[in-house]
Structure 1
Amino acid sequence: MSCLIFSTFDFIFLQMTKNLLLLLSLYTCVLFSQETPSELAELAQAEMKSASSTMNFVANVNTQNYDMVYQRLELTVDPAVYFVSGNVTSHFVAKQAMSTITLDLAHQLTVGSVMKGNTSLAFTQANNELVVTLAQPIVAGTLDSIAVSYAGVPPSGQQAFATGTHSGTPVLWTLSEPYGARDWWPCKQDLNDKIEAIDVYLTTPSQYVAVSNGVEQSQVVNGLTKTTHFEHNYPIPAYLVAIAVTNYQIFTQTAGTAPNQFPVVNYIYPESYNSAVTSLAQTLPIMDLFETLFETYPFSDEKYGHAQFGWGGGMEHTTVSFMGNFSRGLIAHELAHQWFGNKITCGTWKDIWLNEGFATYLSGLVIENLDGAPNFVSWKNSLINNITSQLGGYVYLQDSDLTNVNRIFSSRLSYNKGAMVLHMLRWKLGDTAFFQALRNYLADPNLAFDYAVTTDLQYHLETVSGQNLTEFFSDWLYNQGYPTYTVTAQNMGNLEMQVQLFQTQSHPSVSFFEMPVPIRFIGVNAEQFDVVLQHTENGQLFTVAVPFGVADIQFDPQRHLISKNNTATLGLPFEAIDALIELYPNPTKDLLSIDLPASISFEKMEIYSTLGQQVGVSTSPSFSIAALSEGIYQVRITTSAGVFHKKVIKK
C-alpha cells in the first residue's frame, strides 16, 4: 500500500477520524511537493499509514482449515449512500475434516442467509466471524461452496469502505490493506491463502462507472441500475480485491511489447481528465523500464490501470491501482507493486519490506534510468538521511510490532531502509547478479502468484551470486542501526596511498557492518580514481596504488551505503611527514627518541648497521642504544602513515 501527497512517496490513512484532521494540518507544508529527491526528507514523516493501534493484525486461526479457490462477489452499492448489500459465493477445498466453515466478516454487516444450492445453512455471527454449519461434514480434499447474502453499514474504523464527493459528485471506493476486507464482504483475509480467481458484479445507479480487478466483461442496464461484470483469473489475496464507483471518464493507453501488449485503462474524474491524461503518459516508459529490468507485466493478458479515489496517495490493487494523484513517483510505486506485492506477496506482515521496500526502490530506479545518476544519488541521500534520523529500528518486524499498523507501514524502515537494503545488495553483488536473482525470484514457481518471505529472496540472491548473505541479512534486516565510518589516508610515496577504515555502530545489536566501502581519490588536477575496500574488521589497513598525486579523498560519493556522520581525512604528503619526523638527541650516547606529528601513530623502529645487519628493535618510541659501538646507523621507523628511514649517530 502506498501513499503520496503530490510526491514520490506514499501513505494511506486507514482511519478518517479527528486524527486525520490533525495529520493533515501537520502535513500542509508538503501538499504541493514534487517528486524531486530533495523533498523526500520532508515527506518521510508523512508516509506513515494511520489506523487504530489497537487493531489485531494476526490472521484468524479459525480460517486456516481450508483453501479458498474461487469467489463471486455480487454487490449492490450507491456512491451517494454509505451502505453495501450483496451475495458472495465462495468455493473452497477442505484441508482437513470440516463440519463448519469460518469466514471473516464484520459484525456490523448482517447476514440474511447462507445457502448451499437450494439448501439453507445454519450460521452464527460473532467477533467479526461468520461461522457456517455445512450441509454435511466433509473430508480433506473435498471441494465445497456456500453463498452468503448480507447487507449493512460497513464499520468505518479502518476506512476500508469509503464514500465521498469530488466536485459535488458522489464517489465510493474500498481500501482493505491490511485487514479491512472483512468490513465490506465475507472473505478469508490472511497472508497464507490466495483466491485463485474472482468474478465481481457491481450493481450501481446507471449513471455511474464501476471499477474492479481484472477485465470488464459486460454492462447490463436494468432500468435505473447497471450491473458491471469484472473477471480476474489470477491468485489474489483478499486485501487486494477492490471496487470503486463514480462518474469516471475513461482514458485507455496501450502498453507492453507484442505479443504481450495490453490495455492500460484509466478511470479519471471528469474535472481532472485533461491534466491526468498528460501525467499518465509517464506510465508507458515506466512500464517499459520495469519490463526490461524484470519481466513482462505479470497480468498482461488482462489489463493495468488507475482509478482516481479520495485519498491523497495510492493503493496497488491488482490490475488497477487507486490513485490520489498522478505524479510520476506515485505511478512508479504502485506499478512496481504489481510485481512486488501483487504477483509475489509478502508471506507475513513481518516481511512487509518485500512489498514496500521493493516498490520504493523501483521508484528510485525510475529516477536513475530516466533522470540520470546525479538525481539518483540525491534520491538515495534523502532516503539515507531519513533512515539515520533515528539510531535503531528493525526492517524485519518483531512479534510485538504486529499490532501496530504505524510500525508495520513505517516509512523510515519498511519503505526507505528496505529500499536502501536492496540497493546495498545490488552494490554488494553487482548489477548482473542482482537483477538476475530478482528475475529468478519472480519466476520461481513456488513463489509466483503466491507468497514469499525474506529467506526466499535471500536464497535467490545467494544462488546467483555465490555469496553467503547470512551476515548481511542479520546486520541490515534482522538487527538495527547503521555504521559511522572514519577514513584516514596517507601518501606513502611512489603513488601509493595507505587507507585505514574504522567504524562505530549506532545500535548495539550489530557489532560490525561488513561491507564493500567505496572511496574516491581526487587528484591535484581534479582527476578521480574510485576504489572499493572490503571492510571486514575495524582499523583495517589498505594500500592503494593511485595513478596521480592525491589532493583529497571522499567517502561513498555515490551514496551506496546507509551511514551517517562519516569523516574522510587526507594526511600530509609522505615527504612532508618525513620532514616532520625527528630522532633526538642526534648524535646520542644512550637514549634515542622519536618525535612524530600528532596525527601519526608509532608502531616500531628497527636499527641497522651500515652493513645492513639489524642491531636493535623497539616497539617504544624511546630506546637505549648505549650498547652499540660508535658510528652511523640506519633507523627504519614504521608508523600508521608508512615506513620512514632516518640516520642516527652514536657517539
Structure 2
Amino acid sequence: MRSTSLILPLAIALVLGTAGCSESTSAPAAPAAASSQAAMSTARSHDESSYAQPEKVVITDLALDLKLDFDARQISGTATYTLDWKQPDADALVLDTRELNISKVEAIAADGSASELAFALAPADKVFGSKLTITAISQPQTVRITYATAPTASGLQWLEPSMTEGGKLPFMFSQSQAIHGRSWVPLQDTPGVRFTYSAKVASRPDVMVLMSADNDPAAVRDGVYEFTMPQPIPSYLLAIAAGDLVFKPVSARSGIWAEPTMVDKAAAEFEDTEKMIVASEKLYGEYRWGRYDMLVLPPSFPFGGMENPRLTFATPTVITGDKSLVSLIAHELAHSWSGNLVTNSSWKDIWLNEGFTSYVQSRIIEEVYGKEMAEMERMIDQAGLREEMQTTPSAQQRLALAPLGELDPDEALSSVAYDKGAWFLQFLEQRVGRAAFDTFLRGWFDSHAFGSTDTDTFLAYLNSELLAKYPHAVTAQELDEWINQPGIPASAPKAVSRNFAIVDSARIALQGSGQLPSKEITANWVTQEWVHFITGLGQTQDVALLAQLDQAYQFSGTSNGEIAMRWYPLAIRSGYSQALPQAQAFIEKVGRRKLIMPIYAELVKTSAGLEAATASFERARAGYHPITTSSVAALLAQARPAD
C-alpha cells in the first residue's frame, strides 16, 4: 500500500490509524515464552494485533459464500475454513472479528453433515475488535461460520450512486489492511498466516463484482460471481469490490477495471504497466500471480493504492494525463514481490513490506522512465523523511519497531517504513554494488516466496548471503544504526536531481526579482518539479507573490492532488484567502487521506479555519471512507476548544 510519500505532521500521523469500535476490554495477549532454539525469532514474529493462536491451529483455505445487500449496507453469508491443527491438545479455534454478527458455527464432517459448535464472542476492544473463541475439542478439519457485517464495518465503504464517477449505480469496496479484514470476514487477521481462498458472491445483477483473485476480463454481469485465489495470501490482501465496472486491456495479462467514464483515461495513463512488469521480472524473477489488473476506485478511496494480488486498487487522483504519478502503479506492482510474495509476519516489521517495495518501485521507475525521474522521486521522499523525523518520537523512527501493544497497526504505516526502509536498501546497494545486490534481493524473494518473515530472519539472511561475501562493506555499527536506532544515519546516500537544480534556480530568481520563470523553463515541468518548486517556497510567502503564482499557474483549483496538498496549506498559512473556496472544494471531493489531511491540519489552526474545516467535513463525510472519517473527526476534535 502506498499511503504517504511525504511527511505528515505528527498530529495528523497520530490520528490516521484511529477507527472507532465499541467498548474496550483488553488487547490481544503477548505470546508465552518460547522454549525452542527459535525463541527469539518466534517472539519477533508474534503479532500483537491479533487474537489468533497460529501456534495451535492455522487456516489453510477459506471458502466464502456471500450476498451483497446495498440497501442494508451489509455482507452476509458463510465462511468455511480448512484447518491445520498444530498441537494435539488444542481445543479451540480463535478468530478476530470486528462488529460482526455471528449467528452459527458448525463443524463439517467429510460426508458434508454439520454439527453445531459452541462459541463465545468477547466484548469489543476499541482497536482490535472482538475475540471469537470456538470450542473445538475434536479438532474438526472443516469449520463453517454463518455471519453478517455491520453497516459501519471499518473495512467496507458503501457509496450511493451520486458519490461515484458515473452517478448511476452504487459502489462498494473493501480495505482490509492493516486489521480491517476482520470487519467483513471472521479471520486469523494476521500477516503471519496465509491461506488460499475461493468465493461465490451474489449481488444485484446490474453491478460487476471483483475480488483479489482470478477475475475474468470477459465476465458478464449476471448477479452471481465465482472466484479462486490458488496462491496463499495473508488476510489483509483479501479484497472485494462491486459497482458499475467495465474492463479495458493494456496488455495480454494486464488491464483496467473502472467506471465507464473513467476507463479510457485510466488505460491511457497506465498504458506502460506491461513495461513495468517486464522490468520487474528482469530484476527479480517471474511474476507469479497470473494477471495483474488494476481497479480505479472512486475518489473516496482513503489511500493511493492497495496491492491486492491480481487486482491493485488505485485512487483516481494519480490520473493526471502526463503519467507523472504512475510510480504509484510501480509501487503496487512491486508488492507482487515484496509484501505479497514475501510478507512481514507482524506489523512491527512493516518496513519489510513497504521499505522493500519502495526500493523496488524506484528501480522500476528508473528502468522504464529513466534515472532522472527516479532521482527526483528519491529526493522528494528523502526530504520528506528528514522533515518527519523532526516531530516523530524516536522510538517510531526505527525500522524494527518495538512490539506495538495496544497501538493500532495502521499507525506503523509511516514514512519511516517506506522511505527509511528504501534508503537502507539503497545504502546496501551502494556498498556492495548493484549487480551483487540485485542477485541478493532476488534470492531473498525466491527463498522466502509465499511465506511470512521478520527482521531477525532478514538480518540473518543478509549476513549469510551478502555481507559474508563482502566483509568490509558494512560495519555492525552501521547496520545497527539503520535497523535499531532513530534518525537517518550519516551513511545514507543522497539523491541528486539535475532537474531540481534548475527548479531551485528558477525559484531563487523569482524570490529575488519577482519575475516568474519563463515559459520555456516551466512548459515541460512534471508534477515532481512543481512539488519541489512549491515546497521550496517555505512555510509562508507574501500574499502578492502567491496571487501572482496562482494567476500564472492556476494552482488553486488544480486536479493534481500532489500539488494541491502542498499549495493549499501554504496558501492557508500565508493568509491567501482567495484559495480557501478551492481548498474546501478539494477536501470535499477527495477522500485520500494523504492529500486532504495536511489541508485540514492547517485549517484547524485558526478559529475561522476550524469553522471552515468543520463545514467541509459535514458536507463530505457521507462520501468519505470510514478510515478517513475517523481521521478527520479525531483531528477536528483535538482542535476544538475544551468546554
Amino acid at match of 1:106: R
1:359 aligns with 2:357: yes
Please give the alpha-carbon distance, in whole angstroms, between the structure 2 residues aligned to 1:74 and 1:427.
50
Q: 1:190 to 1:42 in 2, by over 3 A?
A: closer
Q: Displacement of 1:237 after TM fit?
A: 0.7
Structure with bigger RCO (C-alpha 8 Å, 6+ apart): 2
Aligned to 1:210: 209
Relative to its length, the structure with more strand (as a share) is: 1
Q: Specify every segment of 5 or more residues in structure 1 that has no aligned partner in the other structure, as ranges.
A: 10-39, 256-262, 484-512, 520-651
**1:566 equivalent in structure 2:** none
State how far apart, in whole Å, the 2-side matches of 1:299 and 1:308 are.
19
Amino acid at match of 1:98: A
State the alpha-carbon separation in 2 of the partners of residues 264 and 248 from structure 1.
16
The aligned counterpart of 2:386 is: 388
- Count of aligned residue pairs for this structure pair: 434
Tell me which residue corresponds to 1:304.
Answer: 292
User: 338, 347, 360: which one pairs with 1:340?
Assistant: 338
CA distance in structure 1 between the aligned counterparts of 2:307 and 2:495, rounded to whole angstroms? 36
Shift in alpha-carbon separation, 1:514–1:336, aligned structure 2, 3 A: closer
Pick one of 275, 292, 296 that aligns with 1:285: 275
Do the aligned partners of residues 108 and 179 (structure 1) sit closer, same or farther apart at CA in structure 2, a change above 3 Å counting? same
Aligned match of 1:241: 238
How far apart, in 2, do the equivalents of 1:386 and 1:177 lie? 24
1:92 aligns with 2:88: no
Deviation at 1:377, TM superposition (A): 2.8
- How far apart are the structure 1 equivalents of 2:69 and 2:356? 36
Distance 2:183 2:363 in 1: 36
Q: 1:441–1:45: structure 2 CA closer, same or farther, 3 Å change rule?
A: farther
Distance 1:334 1:516, change over 3 A: closer
Alpha-carbon distance in structure 2 between the residues aligned to 1:199 and 1:265: 22
> Who wins on radius of gyration, i.e. which is larger?
1
Q: What 5-or-longer segments of structure 2 have no aligned partner?
A: 22-26, 28-47, 124-129, 320-324, 497-643
Structure 1 partner of 2:197 = 198
The structure richer in helix per residue is: 2
Amino acid paired to 1:233:
P
- Deviation at residue 482 of structure 1 after TM alignment: 3.1
1:555-586 Cα offsets, whole Å, 9 max, x none, are: xxxxxxxxxxxxxxxxxxxxxxxxxxxxxxxx
Aligned twin of 1:137: 138
Tell me the SS of whatever aligns to 1:419. Answer: helix
Distance 1:204 1:270 in 2: 20
Retained in 1: the 8 A contact 2:156–2:173?
A: yes
Q: Deviation of residue 114 (structure 1)?
A: 2.9
Q: Which residues of 2 match residues 248-267 of structure 1 at below 5 A?
A: 248-254=245-251, 263-267=253-257
Aligned-pair CA distance for 1:458: 3.1
Give the deviation of 1:409 after TM superposition: 0.4
2-side partners of 1:518 and 1:118: how far apart? 61
2:120 corresponds to 1:124: yes
The alignment partner of 2:157 has SS state of strand
Q: How does 1:188-587 map to 2 (within 5 A)?
A: 188-195=188-195, 197-216=196-215, 226-254=223-251, 263-300=253-290, 303-310=291-298, 311=301, 313-325=304-316, 326=319, 327-389=325-387, 390-391=389-390, 392=394, 393-400=397-404, 403-405=407-409, 407-411=411-415, 413-444=416-447, 447-462=448-463, 463-465=465-467, 466-468=469-471, 469=474, 470-482=476-488, 513=490
The 8 Å contact of residues 333 and 363 in structure 1, kept in 2 or not, is answered as: yes
| 1:5-24 alignment, distance < 5 Å | 9=5
Change (3 A) 1:333 1:278: same
Given the two structures, how large is their TM-score scaled by the length of structure 1? 0.61
Q: 1:53 to 1:73 in 2, by over 3 A?
A: closer
Aligned to 2:17: 51
The alignment partner of 1:192 has SS state of: coil
Hey, what's the Cα distance between the residues in 2 that align with 1:434 and 1:322?
30
Shift of 1:154: 4.8
TM-score under structure 2 length normalisation: 0.62
Give the SS at the match of 2:91. Answer: strand
Corresponding letter in the other structure for 2:93? I
What are the Cα deviations for residues 516-538 of structure 1, in whole angstroms up to 9, with x where unaligned?
Answer: 9999xxxxxxxxxxxxxxxxxxx
Q: Which residue of 2 aligns with 1:554?
A: none
Q: Aligned to 2:158, what secondary structure does the other structure show?
A: strand
Which secondary structure does the structure 1 equivalent of 2:233 belong to?
Answer: coil
> 2 CA distance for matches of 1:193 and 1:251?
34
Confirm or deny: 8 A CA contact 2:348 2:404 kept in the other structure: no
C-alpha root-mean-square deviation of aligned residues, in Å?
A: 3.1
- Closer, same or farther: CA 171–81 of 1 in aligned 2, 3 Å: farther
The separation in 2 between residues aligned to 1:249 and 1:41, in whole angstroms, is 36
State the percentage of identical aligned residues: 23
